[in-house]
Amino acid sequence: MENMPYRQLGNSGLSVSLFSFGSWVTFGKQMDVQPVKECLKYAFDQGINFFDNAEVYAGGVSETLMMEGFRQLGLGRNEYVLTTKFFWGIENRLNFRNTLNRKYLMQAIDGSLKRMKTDFVDVAYCHRYDPNTPIHEIVFAMDQMIRDGKALYWGTSEWPADAINAAYDFAVENKLHRPIVEQPQYNMLHKEKVEKEFKPLYAKMKLGLTTWSPLASGVLTGKYMNGIPADSRAALPGMSFVKDEIDNRENQNKVEKLAAISKKSGISMAHLALGWCALNANVSTVILGASRIEQLKENLNVLNHLNKITDLKKELDQI
Ligand code: NDP
């Protein structure tokens, strides 16, 4: 698509689309291969080149489905940036759950590549921080993954800034591949990490950000202002944290303020929320989620409103 902007992924030579597409909750739970394929095609046709996945999503099924979709569409591995993430594990055994130990990481990447029927992922993430594995073990394992050709870059997700800093310093000192990107939650309800905690890292290591839940799981679309629709994420089993976000009085105030700006400007709440994330220059890509293609179509229309949303930025920051 002509109006899709691209940004560098942190201190790397890789360009990624400002909006990207991820598969959490949706692939394998809400969508099977046909709708997955339609969404991937639409995303790709709109200029999206970054696709987010994780070992744990639908217990490995999300990885299988995404790659099956790409294969059915006839897309080559040079046409998109593919990611996966490791931490929680999908095997119920000692050393393979909630860990970043070397044994788990080296075997988990092999499992992902087998499911995805590909030789490498472009970015492998450590999905959470593991205080029980020494930082040198994690950095050596991620470096090894890259040296083995199984991943091209590595990053972290929801790590504390000091752990990212320590991993970066260790990699530099020992001439190992450095982490280039962090994947934090970033939306109008959760902005502390991106706007405060990681600040020193943008200057020091040019940390890239692939941010998640730009709509706070849909809360920022306003869809929950009058209760929980039966076909929504908050109504799914195991998603009680979305209900907590909805019930939170402070969040309700923010959603109401966003609704007021939306009414005044004529720009939908979803577009305001998505555009606001993209206006942060430290964000490399805003990962979109959609349970059906109509949402993806609607959400990507934000590209037609970015100029107007820029004018509203100060007001949106107040929320
Ligand atoms: P969002 O906050 O954008 O939520 C997406 C969900 O909101 C959709 O699945 C849909 O849910 C609802 N929705 C989307 N658009 C609309 C719309 N226009 N109108 C009404 N409802 C809408 O993003 P996600 O939470 O899905 O996160 C995006 C991606 O980020 C994930 O797919 C994953 O790849 C990544 N991620 C990474 C994490 C990490 O720890 N690293 C954690 C979480 C996500 P429904 O229709 O079911 O209500």
Q: Where are the domains of the chain?
A: 7-215+278-291
How far away, in angstroms, is 288 Cα from ligand 1 center? 6
CA 171 / ligand 1 centre spacing (Å): 33
Ligand 1 neighbourhood includes 22 CB (under 6 angstroms): yes
Average pLDDT value over all residues in the chain: 97
Report how far ligand 1's centroid is from the alpha carbon of 26 (Å). Answer: 8
Q: Which of 6, 42, 57, 168 is catalytic?
A: 57
pLDDT tier at 184, thresholds 50, 70, 90: very high
Is 186 annotated as catalytic?
A: no
Per residue in 287-313, pLDDT tens? 999 999 999 999 999 999 999 999 999
Q: Choose among 125, 117, 47: nearest CA to 80.
A: 47
Does ligand 1 lie within 6 Å of residue 211's CB atom? no
Label residue 32 by pLDDT band (50, 70, 90). Answer: very high
Q: Residue 271, exposed/middle/buried by CB under 10 A (0-12, 13-18, 19+)? A: buried
3-state secondary structure the chain: CCCCCEEECCCCCCEEECEEEECCCCECCCECHHHHHHHHHHHHHCCCCEEECCCCHHHHHHHHHHHHHHHHHCCCCCCCEEEEEECCCCCCCCCCCCCCCHHHHHHHHHHHHHHHCCCCEEEEEECCCCCCCCHHHHHHHHHHHHHCCCEEEEEEECCCHHHHHHHHHHHHHCCCCCEEEEECECECCECHHHHHHCHHHHHHHCCEEEEECCCHHHHHHCCCCCCCCCCCHHHCCCCHHHHHHHHCHHHHHHHHHHHHHHHHHCCCHHHHHHHHHHCCCCCCEEEECCCCHHHHHHHHHHHHCHHHHHHCHHHHHHC
Across 129-139, average pLDDT: 98
Beta strands 179-183 and 151-157 are parallel
Tell me the pLDDT tens digit for each residue of 90-128. Answer: 999 999 999 999 999 999 999 999 999 999 999 999 999
Q: Is 245 in the pocket of ligand 1 (CB under 6 A)?
A: no
- Over residues 202-251, the pLDDT tens digits come to 999 999 999 999 999 999 999 999 999 999 999 999 999 999 999 999 99
Give the percent of the chain with pLDDT over 90.
Answer: 99
Which residue in this structure is represented by tokens 């598969």? 23
Quote the pLDDT of residue 98: 98
Which band of pLDDT confidence, cut at 50, 70 and 90, is reported for residue 260? very high
64 lines ligand 1 (CB under 6 A): no
Q: Does the C-beta of 215 come closer than 6 Å to ligand 1? A: yes
Q: Does residue 1 register a pLDDT over 80?
A: no
Kindly state if the Cβ of 221 falls inside 6 Å of ligand 1.
yes
How far apart are the CA of 71 and the centre of ligand 1, in A?
24
Residue 14 is predicted with a pLDDT of 98
Calculate how far, in angstroms, residue 95's C-alpha sits from the geometric centre of ligand 1: 30
Q: What is the pLDDT, as a whole number, of residue 112?
A: 98
Q: Say if CB 10 and CB 181 are below 8 A apart.
A: yes
Structure confidence by residue, pLDDT tens digits, 151-172: 999 999 999 999 999 999 999 9
**C-alpha of residue 41 to centroid of ligand 1, in Å:** 18
The domain at 7-215+278-291 falls in which architecture? Alpha-Beta Barrel (3.20)
Is the pLDDT reported for residue 2 higher than 80? Answer: no
Residue 52 CB contacts under 8 Å (≥ 6 apart), including other chains? 20, 21, 22, 23, 24, 83, 183, 210, 212, 287
What pLDDT score was predicted for residue 213? 98
Q: What is the mean pLDDT of residues 182-195?
A: 98
Q: What is the mean pLDDT of residues 4-27?
A: 98
Nearest CA, atom 28, ligand 1: 289
- Average pLDDT, stretch 266-278? 98
| Bridge partners, residue 153, by sequence | 123
Among 128, 213, 242, say which to mutate for ligand 1: greatest number of ligand atoms within 8 Å of CB. Answer: 213
pLDDT at 21: 98
pLDDT value, residue 142: 99
Asked whether 270 lines ligand 1 (CB < 6 A), one says yes
Most informative mutation of 295, 296, 299, 301 for ligand 1 (most atoms within 8 A of CB)? 295
232 Cβ inside 6 Å of ligand 1: yes
